[in-house]
Amino acid sequence: MPNKPSPQSSLYSPAERFRRDATPWTTVQGVLAPIQFFVFIGSAILVTRYLMTGDGLFTATTSVVLKTCLLYLIMVTGCIWEKEVFGVYLFAHSFYWEDMVSMLVLALHTIYLLSFIFDLMSPRAQMWMALAAYSTYVINATQFVFKLRSARLQSNAQANRHRTAEGTTA
């Protein structure tokens, strides 16, 4: 089992927080994540439209391939970020469960891509596979949003404790 922090422990050690704030990969992740999310929204609409009407297969397929490419890009850059911050490419103590779900997201997107490239499923089945991949992506994105919020709250709490300690010593 991974060395997960206890509920009272901080998401980042002081050294990890410093490395997180210092690496340019934090900014890369901060830029790629919302881009991927907006592509996901558009793609989900296009895929649903195709499944409901039978129209727009090329556009829906193109959007899923684009979303999958963005996923690969964010996964690779995320691994680099995790290595710089935590010293491991994946499954760092603070992001173990997010990384576990990310592997499922990656697997489902890859199954979609392989089924498209090698014509292993009908177009409708491929679009259903895309929606399955998107469902896991929503779960994973939610995990990361909660983790980001947790990190922000912990950072604010630490800053407040520091200000309170300075006020009592002054």
Task: Please tell me whether residue 119 adopts helix, strand or coil conformation.
Answer: coil
CB contact set of 29 (below 8 Å; sequence gap of 6+) = 74, 77, 78, 81
In this predicted structure, what is the pLDDT of residue 168?
Answer: 60
Average pLDDT value over all residues in the chain: 90
pLDDT, tens only, 36-92: 999 999 999 999 999 999 999 999 999 999 999 999 999 999 999 999 999 999 999
| Statement: the pTM of the whole predicted model exceeds 0.75 | yes
Domain ranges of the chain: 14-169
